[in-house]
Amino acid sequence: MYLVDTIEVGSDEADRYVDLVQEEAVPLMNDAGAQLVACWATSKEIGEDVAVKVVWSCADHVAWNEIRKNLVLDPRYYAYAARSASLRKGGDRRFYYPASYSPIR
């Protein structure tokens, strides 16, 4: 399963948000049981807010529930959540499973 977060941030905050993902979210999510698949961002050069897409993987929703429990029990999560929320203007979260014809399983 893939957990896909798309976060909207101001263009002046995009690098700071990506650094936060790298420095805090990756260790936190890895320790909780999820793996980073990708972190992408739209261009800062076009004068719009930047969309940062972060893709995590885990086995399924059963594994995701265990990861969520691990996050809630980790004090680092609350500090990370507060810092990331201060940069975020909006966004969404979706859960994806590979389609039957997907080359990545």
pLDDT tens digits for 56-103? 999 999 999 999 999 999 999 999 999 999 999 999 999 999 888 877
One-letter amino acid at 82 equals A
pLDDT tens digits for 41-50? 999 999 899 9
Domains, in order of start, for the chain: 2-96 (3.30.70.100)
Taking the C-alpha atoms of residue 3 and residue 1, their distance in angstroms, rounded to an integer, is 7
User: Tokens in use for 68?
Assistant: 């969520």
Q: What is the pTM of this model?
A: 0.91
pLDDT above 90 (res 105): no
Cβ atoms within 10 Å of 18's Cβ, excluding its own: 19
What values do phi and psi take at 102, rounded to 5? -70, 135
Are 15 and 63 in contact by the 8 Å Cβ rule? The answer is: no
User: Tokens in use for 86?
Assistant: 């201060």
